[in-house]
Every structure is written in structure tokens, then in C-alpha cells.
Amino acid sequence: MSTLKSVGNKLFKTELASHNVELANLQSVVKLEDSAFKLKDKALASAKKISELAATVRANTSSTVKAFEAVINEVDALETQAKELGLSLPNDARLARDSAKREVAQFNELNNKVNSINI
């Protein structure tokens, strides 16, 4: 009977150890899953911030382009008036228009880059 009891104890201990291993594995999976969901939440929060920043950049870019286009239009109107009066447009006005055109191109390029961010 003592052999039978010894075998029974060993089987019980083996089965108990097996359950402990399964429990440990399950706890490990739960910890890994919790960690993964926390990282997911951080990633989504970051994506939301990027989306909000992109919207702000788009709005500011649009306003900036409109302001520089107003400079271009004003210089064009001055040039038309100067021609009607037989005068030449001052060089500073031409330089301002050329600078405004470069700025419009740069901000349109920036806006295109921001628009390429799909979130």
C-alpha cells in the first residue's frame, strides 16, 4: 500500500505542478496582453495628437497662403495702375511680389506634405 500511496502522491504533485505551470503561463499571457493594450492606447493618443496638429498646420498654411496671395494681387494692381499712368513699378514692389510667390509655393508644398499624412 505504501507504494501505491507513494505513486499517488507523486501523481498528485505532478498534476499540481502542471496546473501551476499552466497558471503561470496564463498570467504571463495576461500581462503581455495588458502591456500590448497600453501601447495601443499610447499609439492611438499620439495619432490623435498628430491629426490635431495636422489640422492646425493646414489652417495656418491656408491663412498664410491667402495673406501672400493678397500681397501678389496688390502688387499686380499697383503695376496696372502704374502702367496706366505711364510709370514703372518700383523695384521693391517687384521684389515683394517675387518673395510672396516663393512663399506661396513653399507653403503649398508644406500643405501637400501635411495632407500626405493619412491618419
Cell of 77: 494692381
Three-state DSSP class for residue 1 = coil
The confidence band for 36, taking pLDDT boundaries of 50, 70 and 90, is very high
pLDDT of residue 30: 85
Share of the chain above pLDDT 70, in %: 80
What pTM was estimated for this model as a whole? 0.67
Residue ranges of the domains in the chain?
Answer: 2-115
pLDDT tens sequence across 90-112: 999 999 999 999 999 999 999 99
pLDDT digits 0-9 by tens, 58-87: 999 999 999 999 999 999 999 999 999 999
Q: Which residues contact 115 (CB under 8 A, 6 or more apart)?
A: 58
3-state secondary structure 43-79: HHHHHHHHHHHHHHHHHHHHHHHHHHHHHHHHHHHHH
How many residues in total does the chain contain? 119
**Distance between CA atoms of residues 30 and 68, nearest Å:** 57
C-beta of residue 82 within 8 angstroms of C-beta of residue 89: yes
